[in-house]
């Protein structure tokens, strides 16, 4: 079902939502950094930037998630769960971000393994996504089967700015339908013409994305390329920081640690980790199968475009291009996989 | 007021040869000073790893005092000279990060200056308290 | 062209007018541009520096600041003025507190960029002895000169840059360059007694007498000075000294600029040689210089 | 200029004077460049230099210790090279410094010229083995006005400011990993025995990381801004690195990378050092 | 998991009078790893220690905390206790709840008790991170190197050799003897310097334990106590061991163009020369810079006249490397160069001479065969002025220190002069007389009373030549008068300063020196002959100006120190020292730069298979455990045993967390 909502009403909707739930939307700070931040008023929403500096991933898959607290007492040890997630709305993310939730959602719910922390949070999260009009030079979402500036995968509601100040609102999931239903006063029904306007919008937006990769070809080239000399030189500029993976909507690797606060209280925490970090694969005895930058660098691309495709039939990437922008040495993921030999 | 006194936590790093011995001398002279200081014995102020001070503040210490031999008296001849360089830099850096200058102090206390050690602790306590009370 | 800020000082405007005239004359001849400091004020010699450190530093500071603003080094032929300027410069540089006070008093900043040089140093180090030689019109052959430096040009040691405090050679080198012969003597920096010249004249007479006698004993034809005070003691008092020690002295005392002027070909009137008590003309005529 | 640069490197590689040359090449768009590693004398055509060449290539010297290297350096980057030589990370003979005259570089994120370039006195590189182009140094020397302004804040305001900044920090360690002097084989942040830094990411823990990193690079940091420009969430690390430079200058009259014969301020001492603040 | 015992001491009522010790013990029991916690009246007493030993056995403890007095008092006691209980002695930590708690917080017993609990908890945290440490032993090369063949070096070498150890004595001149050989007589006994020195020199040459290397210099030093490796350059003497010391070559050598440094440049020296007649070894050397043959290729007279064909022009400098266990540095002094004194004529007035030149003039083996004559015209002297404190006690010359010997030798020289020439008159300008020493003051009094030396308290303002006399102008501050003395000769009492090149030499050993270049002793009172470098000792004037008896005493002291090292089979090394984890070392040399003891060595080492890196290594026998390196290391690669990063960080963490009771 498609609706129309005006920009004015979007703000009204936000104002209402803020009263009920934790609403995260792009916010701009004094250093011009745009991040998903908790809104206290709808005016804080900064809708001008195409992409936030980091993704909304951390609102569902927390960078540091407290699993449980441990308390020692006379009778032994008691375990106390981490805080319960609250009802959350992620507003104003982009289709590439939203599709990231779809991709890691599958991983955290893989065969007989369910990650209860992620599952619990995503169930309480409604994602309102806004289609992209003008891509950045780093965008390449159209290279993916499901990728598109108006893609709806992962979103609960998709907003598309079909004409000035008027947004086409499509409810994608039950959560989305409920949200529109609960706030129906801000929505009007969309006409056929409105829905057609979106088709034009899509065509134009996709046209603007210059780079389109043949990912099947990439996969075909990657499979035998593990020992390729290509990796010997392509990794050289990489400084092995974790910027690319931490801004990625799909990277999900983590580490679990414990910290004692005093002689009685301690806590177990899951934190994001990155395959670029040399500690990532280092084992207790000091052995490290991925000893150098080359191996770590290779892993990132192999995982995203080869191994993950084997397991999930889709790439671990949505083409948002954040890693390209965040990379301190401007390594271009598109160029790296395109030129594999 | 009692609870307030207890709330102030000062970590003291004393070099083994002068200031720790000086603090022992304070005891011998029965000079009373605030009990808020918890002393960690180090061989020399040159051993003082700035990280330990940063960690102390990070862990919630209200104040830190590092005390060593007077310049020229170092048991290891020059350890305190290195500390004397680390201190102003570290204090300035910590201040830049928002750690108030009243919270971090250094002193020279020789093995015979028991009275002085008590005075130093009182002074540090007063400064930390001033910061805590008046921001 | 060498350009220097010029601080004549009070003596050179009065009793030592011939020093000023000859200085300007030789500098013009050598194409050294002396820029007289406009509205120069008293250097504060003797009276200021024994009473107030601040006054002693602030008075010369005015001139120093002007020179610094013009980007010039500063010189004075008078040894007392030179000494005050130099000492003020050094004191201000060394003592931040004094610097602040001075700057408050004169209402201007002094950055210590200007260098205070005695005129002899300007001539020998900056202008160059070879360049002077090239300008000489008349070599002063056969003239034996005792160079008398006095105290203010060479003391304390800090002001005596590039020269020996105990046995200065700047003027001797100049004399040599002019073709005359500097006599080897040890009274170059002995006290002339100027400090007592008004209060205890007998001391000044005794000390100046020693100097003149030594110069004579060492075979000097004339004494060459760079200080108006030395000059007045050695020249003006010479007749009474001679009477006192019962020795025929009659040894002319000339400013170094006058001696230089002679070598550059100027005559007695140009250099105001007639202004001295001991008439140098007979000697100079005898040596074939005039 | 690019031609000249390419020719120099081509010659060095062809004559086997160096194993690797590190320069810049175009990256994903007109506004971005990236480090380029060239081993083949015939492969130099991609090397360029322009106002988008923001990376400090001195960074890679510690990673290629065993090779003879040629490295393209802006005037400011040369300080890094000298600092690293001073810290014995490689020897002067093993590195050919190719200085490039620079008119200031632009931050790829903002498109604005870096603040350090406004008061740069090494636009014409000094101390390089080869120099390409001529640059005109800025009239005014480096100033610390922004740091001085920040220092005026109360400690509470400072703490609040940094808490807001470090809430943003995602501990990707880009700042550390692009830092040329952060070359420790095993950073304290990675240690577990003892655990100086917890893996937990929150403002306090993040601040601890930055405090210790800043302490560790004191007197070694050349204020090259690599960390500042690398930060994916724009934390103004320049305010910290500049503070380090200011303190080094004011406390110990030291400038990193400036004088090869002077030891870093914390590696030496002077018996006459000030102790005005010591009780 | 650690098994910790906590022992809380009452110290009579010293502690328990203020601190609730049972509460401290009870709190200890709640801490992780603590298996037993007890309190006792006197923990340090025998029964107290037995309580600990029993508890260790009963509860199978592997480490303990003693909450009692200062560790400076009883840490050793409890280490011994642990050893007796069969545990590693370093597994004890003390919580100082007496000096740091009960004695200073008696105003508030509650707070005092809580602090005691906290300090105990911090010690528990620390001991949990303690590691087993073992004393180490290092081998000792029982050979000593003595550098400098003056009286200090000679004495040290003789004493060490007398104890039966091998000594190599290195001297840069062609003979040993040093400054003392230049002196005529010595104060206060006026016995002849050569007469008392020569037997010692001969003893050196005859001692089987001493290898004498003259005309040789130390060029490179590496290693550390017990294991120094020293490179010595033996300069080519051009005369080989066949020489019998007949001296014909010297007599016949026609080249006397150069001046003898030994004679204060007052007399000539041949191109082939022995330093002085009693030289040891009595073998001449050829100075290749002045020898006619080496300059022009012609002459060879010495070769022709030598009865044993000992002259060998083809000899080359030789570099030898030797190992030593300890080093005595006795490099001596130079006299202050008085050319910086303008008032004394900038060193340009020929008849203003240095004190050492006077020694040579009055010495019967000197250039004038003992005739004191003016260097300018060789005329005998009548009036002689001595000026003291030239380059001593003079701020303006940056020599504010007293050279200690000048007052005495000036008095001696004035007396000798009068002895030789009774008609002479001496004047001494002095600041004040420093004659502290046995029979010293009496000696100076004798000079004044018996020898008629006129002592004038004041400085000389000017010396200048007037005719063939020297006019000395000065002040006599006692009478307030200005004095003018017409002198024939002025003798300056030049102060003592370190040898030229002393700074560079000290860098060979990484020894520190003071602002003048004198080598620093380890402690000005309690370690006056040791240096900061273990195994390197200093003797004589290279450490500070001193007279012959002090020098000899100091030399013997170094010998005793060296023998004490050699008397042990192996060197015992305290284990509380630094260690480097080379895997994490970045090789930045920061620790190397800051170590006060040069206990860090930089090495290229294979740290992982196939990975050679430039890394630091601690010389275990040199490290004294100050930890400056740990404080300076950015890579956190170096750590200090007993005060490790883990231990201190855990103390910091514990100190800042509140007291928790479950």
The CATH number of the structural domain formed by E237-315 is 3.30.70
Contact B24 E96 (CB under 8 A): yes
Q: At what angle do helices D155-168 and B79-96 cross, to 10 degrees?
A: 80
Q: Is the pLDDT of residue E180 over 90?
A: yes
* Residues in contact with D276: Cβ distance below 8 Å, sequence separation at least 6, in sequence order: none
Domain that holds residue B105: 49-109+125-135
Give the residue among E138, E108, E4 at the shortest CA–CA distance from E577. E138
CA of A334: which chain D residue's CA is closest? D28
For residue A136, which of A336, A334, A341, A325 has the smallest C-alpha distance? A325
The 3-class secondary structure across A196-220, one letter per residue, is HHHHHHHHHHHHHCCCCCCHHHHHH
Tell me if B78 is assigned to some domain.
Answer: yes
How far is the C-alpha of E318 from the C-alpha of E217, rounded, in Å? Answer: 11
Helix (H, G, I), strand (E, B) or coil at A258: strand
Average predicted confidence (pLDDT) for chain E:
92
Query: Tens digits of per-residue pLDDT, E424-457?
Result: 999 999 999 999 999 999 999 999 999 999 999 9
pLDDT at E569 over 90: no
Is there a shared CATH topology between the E135-235+317-332+499-570 domain and the E334-497 domain? yes
Distances (CA, A) of E331 to E173, E225, E372, E457, E604: 12, 20, 30, 34, 34
Alpha-carbon distance of E476 to E514, in angstroms, equals: 34
Confidence of residue E317 (pLDDT cuts 50, 70, 90): very high
**Domain at E4-133, CATH from 3.40.1310, 3.40.50, 3.90.580, 3.10.450:** 3.40.50
Residue C126: how many other CB atoms lie within 10 Å: 14
Which chain E residues contact residue C186 at CB under 8 A? 462, 464-466, 471
Handedness of CA E105, E107, E112, E114 (dihedral sign): negative
pLDDT for B6 equals: 67
User: What burial class does residue D175 get, using C-beta atoms within 10 Å of its C-beta: 0-12 exposed, 13-18 middle, 19+ buried?
Assistant: buried
Q: DSSP string spanning A166-189? A: EEEEEE-SHHHHHHHHHTGGG-EE
pLDDT at B3 over 60: no
pLDDT level of residue C239 (50, 70, 90 thresholds): very high
> Nearest-CA distance from D42 to chain A in Å?
16
Rounded to two decimals, the pTM is: 0.69
B43/E627 CB distance under 8 A: yes
D279/B107 CB distance under 8 A: yes
Q: Which residues contact A23 (CB under 8 A, 6 or more apart)?
A: A14, A17, A38, A39, A88, A89, A91
Q: How does pLDDT run across C62-107, given as a tens digit for each residue? A: 999 999 999 999 999 999 999 999 999 999 988 889 999 999 999 9
Is residue E660 over pLDDT 80?
no
Say yes or no to pLDDT of E51 above 50.
Answer: yes
pLDDT digits (tens, 9 = 90+) for E66-80: 999 999 888 989 999
Distance from the first to the final alpha carbon of chain B: 18
String of DSSP letters for C90-129 = HHHHH-HHHHHHHHHHHTS---S-S-EEEHHHIIIIIIIH
Residues E655 and B61: beta-carbon distance below 8 Å:
yes
- The CATH class of the E574-641 domain is alpha beta
Record: contact E30-A263, CB cut-off 8 A: yes
* Structural domain boundaries in chain E: 4-133, 135-235+317-332+499-570, 237-315, 334-497, 574-641
A268 membership: H or E segment, kind and range: strand A265-272
B39 inside domain: no
Nearest alpha-carbon partner for C189 in C236, C158, C156: C156
Residue ranges of chain E whose CB lies within 8 Å of a chain D CB: 129, 583-590, 593-594, 602, 614, 632, 634-637, 645-646, 649-650
Architecture in CATH for domain E334-497: 3-Layer(bba) Sandwich (3.50)
Q: What is the pLDDT of residue A287?
A: 84
The verdict on residue B61 lying in a domain is yes
Q: How far apart are the first and last CA of chain A?
A: 47
Beta strands in E101-151 (DSSP E): 136-139, 143-147
- For chain D, which residues make up each domain, given as ranges? 2-132, 145-267
φ and ψ at E489, to 5 degrees?
A: -150, 140
Is the CB of residue E486 less than 8 Å away from at least one CB of chain C?
no
CA separation for the pair E417, E401 (Å, rounded)? 28
Those residues with Cβ within 8 angstroms of residue C32's Cβ, 6 or more apart along the chain or in another chain: C1, C2, C3, C4, C122, C123, C127
pLDDT at B4: 60
Nearest to E100 among B23, B55, B75 (CB): B23
Q: Give the architecture-level CATH label for domain C2-118.
A: Up-down Bundle (1.20)
| Helix residue spans in E578-626 (DSSP H) | 590-594
User: Is the per-residue pLDDT at B91 higher than 70?
Assistant: yes
Query: Which pLDDT band, with edges at 50, 70 and 90, does D263 fall under?
Result: confident
Tokens of C136: 């000489």
How far, in Å, CA of D164 to CA of A219, rounded?
42
Each residue's pLDDT tens digit in chain A (341 positions)?
788 898 888 999 999 999 999 999 999 988 888 999 999 998 898 888 888 899 999 999 999 999 999 988 777 888 988 888 899 999 999 999 999 999 999 999 888 889 989 999 999 999 999 999 888 888 999 999 888 899 989 999 999 988 877 899 999 999 999 999 888 889 888 888 888 888 888 888 888 888 888 888 899 998 898 988 999 889 999 998 999 999 999 999 999 988 877 777 889 999 999 998 888 888 887 788 888 889 999 999 999 999 999 988 899 999 999 999 899 999 999 989 888 87
What token pair was written down for A210?
């210059």
Whole-angstrom distance, CA of residue E132 vs CA of residue E494: 58
Which residue in the block uniquely carries the two structure tokens 């306090």?
D204
Cβ of B82 under 8 Å from any chain D Cβ?
yes
In chain C, what are the domain boundaries?
2-118, 138-286
Q: What is the mean pLDDT of residues E471-484?
A: 94
Q: Considering CB atoms only, which of B26, B49, B56 is closest to E631? A: B49
Nearest to A131 by CA among A172, A89, A167: A167
Q: Touching check for D63 and chain E: CB below 8 Å?
A: no
Whether chain D has a CB inside 8 Å of the CB on B89: the answer is: yes
Nearest to A306 by CA among A220, A244, A232, A246: A220
Is residue B33 domain-resident? no
pLDDT in tens, D180-226: 999 998 899 988 888 899 888 889 999 999 999 999 999 999 998 99
A190: which DSSP letter?
Answer: P
- Which chain B positions have a beta carbon within 8 Å of E122's beta carbon? 38, 40
Does the pLDDT at position B1 exceed 70? no
Q: Token pair 């008032």 is at which residue? A: E343
DSSP state letter for D132: E
Mean pLDDT for the stretch of residues E163-181 = 96
Tokens of E546: 């001193």
- Taking Cα atoms as reference points, which of E78, E99, E96 lies closest to residue E87? E78
User: Residue E55 — pLDDT band, cuts 50, 70, 90?
Assistant: very high
Provide the pLDDT for residue A194. Answer: 85
Give contacts of C213 with chain E, Cβ < 8 Å.
none
3-state secondary structure of D196: coil
The count of residues in chain C is 290
Q: What is the pLDDT of residues D97-110, one digit of tens each?
A: 999 998 889 887 77
The secondary structure of chain A in percent helix, strand, coil, rounded to multiples of 5, reads 35, 25, 40
Q: Which of E584, E589, E650 sits opposite D186 (nearest CB)?
A: E584
For the E135-235+317-332+499-570 domain, the top CATH level (class) is: alpha beta
Lowest mean pLDDT among A153-157, C143-147, C163-167: C163-167
The question of ipTM being above 0.90 is answered as no
Chains within contact range of chain E (3+ C-beta pairs < 8 Å): A, B, C, D
Q: Which CATH architecture has domain C138-286?
A: 3-Layer(aba) Sandwich (3.40)
Closest CA to B100 of D197, D239, D157, D248: D157
More confident residue, E598 or E443: E443
Closest residue by Cα to residue D20 from D12, D28, D30, D31: D12
| CA A325 – CA B103 distance, rounded (Å) | 41
> Quick one: pLDDT at residue C273?
92
Domain ranges of chain A: 2-53+85-208, 215-338
The pLDDT, as a whole number, for residue D191 is: 86
Instruction: Check the CA dihedral E221-E223-E225-E226 and report its sign.
Output: negative
CB atoms E624 and B76 under 8 Å = yes
């Amino acid at each position: 079902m498609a609706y129309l909502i005006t920009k004015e009403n979007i703000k009204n909707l936000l104002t209402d939502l803020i009263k009920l739930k934790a609403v995260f939307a792009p916010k701009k700070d004094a250093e011009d950094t745009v991040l998903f931040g908790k809104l206290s008023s709808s005016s804080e929403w900064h809708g001008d930037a195409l992409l936030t500096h980091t993704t909304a991933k951390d609102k569902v898959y927390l960078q540091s998630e407290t699993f449980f607290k441990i308390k020692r007492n006379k009778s032994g040890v008691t375990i106390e769960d981490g805080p319960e997630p609250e009802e959350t709305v992620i507003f104003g993310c982009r289709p590439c971000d939203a599709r990231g939730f779809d991709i890691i959602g599958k991983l955290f719910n893989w065969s007989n393994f369910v990650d209860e922390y992620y599952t619990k949070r995503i169930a309480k999260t409604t994602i309102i996504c806004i289609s992209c009009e003008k891509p950045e030079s780093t965008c390449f979402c159209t290279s993916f089967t499901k990728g598109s500036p108006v893609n709806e995968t992962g979103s609960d509601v998709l907003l598309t700015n079909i004409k000035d100040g008027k947004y086409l609102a499509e409810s994608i999931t039950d959560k989305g339908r409920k949200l529109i239903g609960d706030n129906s006063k801000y929505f009007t029904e969309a006409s056929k013409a409105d829905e057609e306007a979106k088709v034009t919008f899509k065509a134009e937006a996709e046209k603007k994305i210059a780079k389109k990769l043949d990912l099947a070809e990439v996969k075909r080239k990657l499979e035998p390329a593990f020992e390729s000399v290509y990796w010997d030189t392509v990794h050289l500029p990489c400084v092995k920081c974790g910027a690319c993976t931490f801004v990625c909507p799909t990277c999900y690797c983590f580490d679990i640690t414990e910290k004692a606060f005093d002689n009685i209280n301690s806590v177990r925490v899951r934190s994001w980790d990155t395959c670029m970090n040399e500690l990532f694969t280092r084992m207790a005895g000091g052995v490290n199968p991925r000893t150098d930058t080359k191996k770590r660098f290779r892993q990132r691309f192999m995982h995203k475009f080869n191994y993950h495709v084997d397991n999930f039939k889709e790439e671990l990437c949505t083409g948002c291009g954040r890693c390209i922008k965040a990379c301190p040495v401007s390594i271009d993921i598109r160029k790296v996989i395109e030129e594999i030999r | 007021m009692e609870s307030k006194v207890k709330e102030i936590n000062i970590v003291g790093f004393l070099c083994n040869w002068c200031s720790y011995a000086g603090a022992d001398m304070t005891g011998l002279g029965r000079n009373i000073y605030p009990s808020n200081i918890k002393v960690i014995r180090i061989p020399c102020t040159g051993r003082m790893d700035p990280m330990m001070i940063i960690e102390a503040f990070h862990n919630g210490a209200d104040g830190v005092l590092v005390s060593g031999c007077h310049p020229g008296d170092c048991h290891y001849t020059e350890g305190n000279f290195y500390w004397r360089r680390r201190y102003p830099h570290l204090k300035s850096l910590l201040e830049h990060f928002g750690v108030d200058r009243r919270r971090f102090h250094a002193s020279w206390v020789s093995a015979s200056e028991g009275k002085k050690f008590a005075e130093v602790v009182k002074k540090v306590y007063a400064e930390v308290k001033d910061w805590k009370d008046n921001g | 062209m060498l350009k220097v800020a010029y601080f004549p000082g009070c003596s050179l405007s009065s009793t030592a007018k011939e020093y000023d005239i000859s200085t300007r004359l030789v500098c013009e001849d050598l194409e050294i541009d002396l820029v007289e400091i406009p509205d120069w004020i008293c250097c504060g010699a003797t009276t200021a520096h024994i009473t107030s450190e601040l006054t002693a530093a602030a008075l010369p500071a005015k001139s120093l600041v002007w020179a610094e603003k013009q980007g010039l080094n500063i010189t004075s032929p008078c040894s007392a003025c030179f000494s005050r300027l130099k000492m003020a410069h050094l004191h201000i540089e060394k003592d931040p507190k004094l610097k602040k006070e001075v700057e408050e008093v004169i209402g201007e900043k002094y950055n210590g960029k200007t260098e205070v040089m005695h005129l002899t140093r300007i001539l020998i180090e900056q202008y160059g002895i070879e360049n002077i030689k090239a300008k000489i019109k008349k070599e002063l052959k056969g003239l034996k000169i005792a160079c008398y430096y006095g105290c203010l040009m060479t003391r304390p040691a800090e002001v005596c840059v590039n020269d020996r405090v105990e046995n200065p050679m700047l003027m001797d080198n100049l004399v040599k360059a002019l073709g005359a012969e500097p006599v080897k003597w040890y009274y170059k920096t002995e006290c002339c007694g100027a400090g007592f010249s008004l209060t205890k004249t007998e001391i000044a007479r005794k000390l100046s007498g020693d100097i003149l006698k030594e110069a004579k004993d060492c075979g000097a034809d004339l004494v060459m000075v760079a200080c108006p005070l030395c000059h007045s003691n050695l020249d003006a008092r010479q007749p009474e000294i001679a009477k006192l020690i019962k020795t025929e002295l009659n040894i002319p005392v000339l400013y170094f600029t006058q001696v230089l002027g002679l070598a550059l070909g100027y005559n007695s009137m140009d250099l105001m040689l007639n202004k001295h008590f001991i008439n140098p003309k007979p000697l100079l005529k005898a040596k074939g210089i005039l | 200029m690019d031609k000249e640069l390419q020719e120099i490197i081509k010659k060095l590689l062809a004559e086997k004077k160096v194993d690797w040359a590190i320069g810049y090449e175009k990256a994903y768009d007109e506004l971005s460049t990236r480090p380029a590693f060239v081993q083949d004398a015939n492969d130099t055509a991609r090397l360029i230099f322009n106002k988008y060449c923001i990376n400090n290539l001195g960074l890679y010297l510690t990673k290629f210790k065993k090779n003879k290297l040629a490295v393209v350096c802006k005037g400011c980057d040369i300080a890094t090279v000298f600092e690293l030589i001073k810290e014995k990370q490689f020897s002067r003979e093993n590195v050919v410094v190719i200085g490039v005259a620079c008119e200031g570089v632009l931050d790829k994120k903002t498109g604005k010229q870096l603040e350090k370039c406004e008061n740069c006195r090494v636009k014409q590189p000094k101390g390089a083995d080869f120099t390409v182009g001529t640059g005109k140094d800025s009239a005014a020397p480096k100033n610390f006005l922004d740091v001085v302004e920040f220092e005026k804040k109360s400690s509470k305001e400072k703490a609040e400011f940094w808490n807001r900044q470090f809430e943003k920090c995602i501990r990707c360690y880009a700042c550390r990993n692009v830092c040329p002097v952060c070359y420790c084989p095993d950073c304290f942040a990675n240690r577990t025995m003892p655990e100086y830094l917890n893996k937990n990411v929150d403002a306090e823990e993040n601040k601890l990381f930055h405090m210790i990193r800043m302490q560790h690079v004191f007197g070694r940091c050349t204020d090259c801004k690599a960390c500042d420009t690398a930060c994916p969430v724009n934390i103004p690390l320049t305010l910290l690195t500049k503070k380090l430079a200011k303190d080094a200058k004011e406390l110990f009259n030291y400038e990193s990378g400036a004088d090869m014969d002077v030891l870093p301020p914390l590696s030496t001492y002077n018996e006459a050092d000030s102790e005005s603040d010591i009780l | 998991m650690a098994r910790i015992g906590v022992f809380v001491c009452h110290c009579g009522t010293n502690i328990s009078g203020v601190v609730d010790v049972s509460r401290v013990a009870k709190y200890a029991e709640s801490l992780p790893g603590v298996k037993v916690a007890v309190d006792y009246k006197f923990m340090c007493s025998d029964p107290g220690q037995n309580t600990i030993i029993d508890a260790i056995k009963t509860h199978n403890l592997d480490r303990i905390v003693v909450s009692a007095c200062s560790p400076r008092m009883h840490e050793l006691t409890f280490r011994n206790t642990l050893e007796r209980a069969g545990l590693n002695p370093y597994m004890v930590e003390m919580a100082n709840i007496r000096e740091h708690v009960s004695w200073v917080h008696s105003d508030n017993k509650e707070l005092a008790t809580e602090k005691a609990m906290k300090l105990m908890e911090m010690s528990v945290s620390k001991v949990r991170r303690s590691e087993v440490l073992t004393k180490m032993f290092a081998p000792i090369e029982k050979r000593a190197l003595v550098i400098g063949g003056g009286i200090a070096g000679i004495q040290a070498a003789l004493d060490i050799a007398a104890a039966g150890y091998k000594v190599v004595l290195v001297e840069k001149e062609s003979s040993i003897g040093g400054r003392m050989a230049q002196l005529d007589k010595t104060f206060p006994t006026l016995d002849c310097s050569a007469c008392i020195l020569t037997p010692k020199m001969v003893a050196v040459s005859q001692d089987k334990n001493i290898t004498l290397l003259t005309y040789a210099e130390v060029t490179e030093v590496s290693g550390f106590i017990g294991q120094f490796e020293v490179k010595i350059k033996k300069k080519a003497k051009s005369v080989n061991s066949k020489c019998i010391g007949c001296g014909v070559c010297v007599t016949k050598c026609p080249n006397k163009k150069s001046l003898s440094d030994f004679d204060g440049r007052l007399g000539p020296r041949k191109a082939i020369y022995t330093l002085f007649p009693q030289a040891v070894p009595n073998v001449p050397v050829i100075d290749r810079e002045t020898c006619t043959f080496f300059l022009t290729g012609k002459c060879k007279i010495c070769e022709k006249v030598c009865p044993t064909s000992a002259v060998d022009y083809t000899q080359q400098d030789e570099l030898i490397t030797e190992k030593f266990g300890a080093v005595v540095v006795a490099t001596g002094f130079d006299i202050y160069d008085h050319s910086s004194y303008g008032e004394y004529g900038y060193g340009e007035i020929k008849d203003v001479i240095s004190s050492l030149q006077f020694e040579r003039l009055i010495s019967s083996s000197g250039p004038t065969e003992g005739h004191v004559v003016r260097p300018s015209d060789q005329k005998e002297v009548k009036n002689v002025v001595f000026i003291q404190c030239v380059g001593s006690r003079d701020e303006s010359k940056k020599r504010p220190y007293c050279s200690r010997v000048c007052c005495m030798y000036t008095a001696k020289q004035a007396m000798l002069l009068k002895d030789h020439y009774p008609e002479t008159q001496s004047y001494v300008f002095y600041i004040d007389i420093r004659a502290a020493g046995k029979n010293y003051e009496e000696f100076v009094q004798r000079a004044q009373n018996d020898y008629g030396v006129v002592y004038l308290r004041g400085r000389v303002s000017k010396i200048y030549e007037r005719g063939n006399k020297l006019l000395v102008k000065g002040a006599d501050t006692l009478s307030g008068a200005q004095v003018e003395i017409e002198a024939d000769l002025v003798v300056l009492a030049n102060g003592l300063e370190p040898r030229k090149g002393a700074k560079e030499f000290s860098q060979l050993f990484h020894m520190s020196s003071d602002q003048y270049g004198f080598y620093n002793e380890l402690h000005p009172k309690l370690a006056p002959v040791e240096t900061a470098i273990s195994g390197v000792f200093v003797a004589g004037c290279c450490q500070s100006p001193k007279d012959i008896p002090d020098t000899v005493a100091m030399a013997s002291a170094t010998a005793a120190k060296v023998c004490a090292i050699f008397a042990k089979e192996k060197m015992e090394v305290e284990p509380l020292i630094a260690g480097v984890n080379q895997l994490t070392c970045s090789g930045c040399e920061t620790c190397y730069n800051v170590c006060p003891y040069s206990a860090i060595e930089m090495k290229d080492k294979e740290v992982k298979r196939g990975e050679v890196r430039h890394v630091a290594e601690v010389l275990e026998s040199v490290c004294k455990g100050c930890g400056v390196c740990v404080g300076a290391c950015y890579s956190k690669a170096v750590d200090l045993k007993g005060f490790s990063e883990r231990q201190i960080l855990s103390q910091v963490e514990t100190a800042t967390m509140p007291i928790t009771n479950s």
